[in-house]
Amino acid sequence: MAEAIVLQNVVKEFTLRYHRTFREITVAKAKGQKTSEKFNAIDDVSFTVEEGESIGLMGLNGSGKSTLLKVINGVMRPDSGTALTRGRIAGLIATGAGFHPQLSGTENLVLNAAILGMSERELKRKYDDIVEFADLGRTLDAPVGHYSSGQKARLGFAVAVHVDSDIFLADEVLAVGDKPFKVKCMRKMREIRDSGRTLVFVSHSPGAVAKMCTRGIVLEKGRLGFDGDVADAIHYLQYDRTDDEDELETDDEIGNDI
């Protein structure tokens, strides 16, 4: 089987700045204090994903999941190491990413589709399906700057799932939006998975990850902590232990619906 994603010793470095203004920086330096500090958001990460695999990318907040997804997508370049992918990539890696706040939902739909590589002919063929999936009604004619985070997620996800792609990346699609929309997203991603496309799914929901994925990759402070069976990955993070009955109920409901 061919390789869809290959990461070799990937490092992505960021700078954490403690002071913003020139005066603050000057005072801090005069006192011998640090004004900034570099850290690795992704630190020497290597793994390979075969075509058609469904990967659950997990980790606590700040572990580097979203940054790694952006490296895979090509939005960010690693500072060292290599990140190679095969085929067209689509997906939702940030709510409202690429949207212009002053343009309407319809105009942003067309713009976002073009950014994701959808041809004019392909967009015409899928336009009605995208609008129906987003289910924004007359709000589609309003400027996106007036949208809620949930409405932006609806529009962004609706465009992404209708792009013909080889790799689909989904970052916390369950974090925003109402329950019916979340269920619809999960059903659509199951279709994507079952079509043989490679899926990388970022989520804190153990029930959803267990239903969607067969392999789990866990990041810990930017480093690869675990790579193996998805049930073992969930156990590694102790996501299978919770006293929050509502959380368990939500996971079960979503899992049953997909």
**Distance (Å, whole) CA 243 – CA 253:** 17
**The whole model's pTM is what?**
0.81
Residue 8: predicted pLDDT: 97
CB 35 within 8 A of CB 29: yes
Kindly tell me the sign of the dihedral angle through the C-alpha atoms of 143, 73, 94, 189.
positive
DSSP 61: T
Task: Count CA within 13 A, CB hemisphere, residue 203.
Answer: 30
State how far the alpha carbon of 117 is from the alpha carbons of 53, 153, 178, 199, in Å: 23, 19, 29, 18
Residue 253: predicted pLDDT: 47
H or E element, residue 111: helix 105-115
CA angle 227, 4, 49 (to 5 degrees): 10
Domains of the chain: 51-257 (3.40.50.300)
Residue 245: predicted pLDDT: 40
Task: Give bridge partners of residue 10 from the DSSP assignment.
Answer: 45
**Distance (Å, whole) CA 98 – CA 115:** 8
Helix (H, G, I), strand (E, B) or coil at 64: coil
pLDDT, tens digit (0-9, with 9 covering 90-100), for 3-58:
999 999 999 999 877 767 777 777 777 777 776 678 899 999 999 999 999 999 99
CA nearest to 154, candidates 122, 128, 180: 180
Return per-residue pLDDT of the chain as tens, 258 residues: 689 999 999 999 998 777 677 777 777 777 777 766 788 999 999 999 999 999 999 999 889 998 999 999 988 999 999 999 999 998 877 666 678 899 999 999 999 899 888 899 999 999 999 999 999 999 999 999 999 888 888 898 899 889 889 999 988 765 566 788 888 888 888 999 999 999 999 988 888 899 999 999 999 999 999 999 999 999 999 887 755 444 434 454 455 554
State how far the alpha carbon of 150 is from the alpha carbons of 133, 153, 161, 177, 219, in Å: 14, 5, 16, 4, 27
